[in-house]
Chains A and B, each alone.
Chain A
Amino acid sequence: MLNVLLRRLFQAALTVLVVVTLVFVLFSVIPGTYASSLQADKRDVSAEVLERIEAELGLNDPLPQRFGRYMAGLAQGDLGVSYATKRPVADMLSGRVWASFRLACAAILFAVCIGLPLGFFAAMRRGSWLDTATMTLAVSGLSIPAFWAGLVLMYVFSLKLHWLPTFGYGSGGLKHLILPAITLGIAPMALLARTTRAAVLETLNSDFIRTARSKGMSERRLVLRHLARNAFVLVLTTIGLQFGSMLGGSVVIEKLFAWPGVGSLLIDSVGLRDIPAVQGAILVIVLFFLLINTLVDLAYLVVDPRIRYR
Chain B
Amino acid sequence: MTKAVLDVRNLAISLSDGAVRVPAVEGVDFTINRGEVFGLVGESGCGKSLCALALAGLLKAPMAVSGGQILLEGRDLAPLPPREMRRLRGDKVSMIFQEPMTALNPLMTVGDQIGEMFVLHRGLTPRAARLKAIEALEQVQVSSPERRINAYPHQLSGGMRQRVMIAIALACDPALLIADEPTTALDVTIQAEIVELVLELCRAKGTAVMMISHDLGLVARVCNRVAVMYAGQIVEQRSAEEIFTAPAHPYTRGLINALPRLGRRLERGQERLTEIGGVVPAIRDFPQGCRFAPRCTRATAECRAAPVAMTDLNEGGRVRCLHHV
Contacts and interface: CB of A to CB of B under 8 A. Distances in A.
Contacts of A210: 58, 97, 103
A225 B99 CA distance: 21
A7 interface: no
13 contacts: A206-B102, A208-B103, A208-B106, A210-B58, A211-B104, A212-B105, A214-B90, A215-B120, A215-B168, A216-B85, A216-B91, A304-B106, A304-B107
A233 B107 contact: yes
Given A207-B97, A215-B90, A215-B120, A230 B105 contact: yes
Interface residues of A, number: 22
Contacts of B107: 229-230, 233, 303-305
A207 B58 contact: no
**A interface, over-half SS:** helix
Question: Which of A206, A217, A233 is the most central at the interface, judged by chain B CB atoms within 10 Å of its CB?
Answer: A217
Given A214-B58, A218-B86, A230 B106 contact: yes
Interface in B18-40: none
Across the A-B interface, the 10 shortest Cβ-Cβ residue pairs: A216-B89, A216-B90, A207-B102, A215-B90, A305-B152, A208-B105, A216-B86, A214-B95, A207-B103, A211-B103
Nearest to A206: B102
Interface of B: 56, 58, 85-91, 94-95, 97, 99, 102-108, 116-117, 120-121, 152, 154, 165, 168-169
A234 to B, nearest CB: 11
A212 B85 CA distance: 14
A213 B103 contact: no
A212 B121 CA distance: 13
Nearest to A210: B58
B116 A207 contact: no
Contact of A217 (B86, B94, B103): B86
B104 A214 contact: no
B87 A306 contact: no
Given A211-B103, A216-B88, A230-B106, 11 more contacts: A207-B103, A208-B103, A210-B97, A210-B103, A216-B85, A216-B86, A226-B105, A230-B107, A303-B107, A304-B107, A306-B106
Nearest to A208: B105
Contacts of A229: 107
Nearest to A214: B95
A152 to B, nearest CB: 40
A203 to B, nearest CB: 10
B102 A208 contact: yes
Which of B97, B106, B154, B169 is most buried by chain A, counting CB atoms within 10 A of its CB?
B106
Contact of B154 (A206, A207, A213, A305): A305
Nearest to B88: A216
A214 B89 contact: yes
B105 A211 contact: yes
B116 A217 contact: yes
A131 to B, nearest CB: 14
A213 B99 contact: no
Interface in A258-286: none
A290 to B, nearest CB: 27
Nearest to A207: B102
Contacts of B121: 216
